[in-house]
Amino acid sequence: MKKRVTGLGGFFFKTKNPDEIKSWYKTHLGIPTDQYGWTFWWKDQDGNDCSTQWSPFKENTSYFQPSEKQFMMNFRVENLKALLEVLKEEGVTVVGEMEEYDYGKFGWILDPEGNKIELWEPVDKAFLDQ
């Protein structure tokens, strides 16, 4: 398996009031937020359109479980199914089952300190077509 992580897919964090936080970042840092936070676009080394998501979540979200941390990282990966198999063989804790959507495949793991990490095999074109 050549590549594993190919880039940062997103950064998610818990907050008391996601709408207030999005408004603050929009006002003071000029981030063009929407209902999910902010999707920003960039080009990879081959010139392909890529996205990274910044999203505040309600502080009582269960999405980060079983981690009790205040944040969750999302990494862009290639061939998620094969990667999850390799990670299992390496003794990495895999959380739940892989899920597939129009915009990509998702899987979750825990690092040694219990940080939940979301792995995303993106279909960036799905976002561009919206």
Contacts 24+ apart (CB under 8 A), 123-129: 124/48, 124/49, 124/50, 124/51, 125/49, 126/102, 127/39, 127/51, 127/103, 128/49
pLDDT at 44: 85
Sheet containing 71-77: which strands, arranged edge to edge?
A: 38-43, 49-58, 5-15, 71-77, 116-122, 104-110, 93-101
Q: Is pTM, for the whole model, over 0.85?
A: yes
**Structural domain spans, the chain:** 5-128
**Superfamily of structural domain 5-128:** 2,3-Dihydroxybiphenyl 1,2-Dioxygenase, domain 1 (3.10.180.10)
pLDDT along the chain (130 residues), means of 10: 86 96 95 93 88 95 95 96 97 96 96 96 70
pLDDT at 128: 56
How far apart are alpha carbons 95 and 64 in whole angstroms? 10
Beta strand 49-58 with 5-15 is: parallel
pLDDT at 127: 57
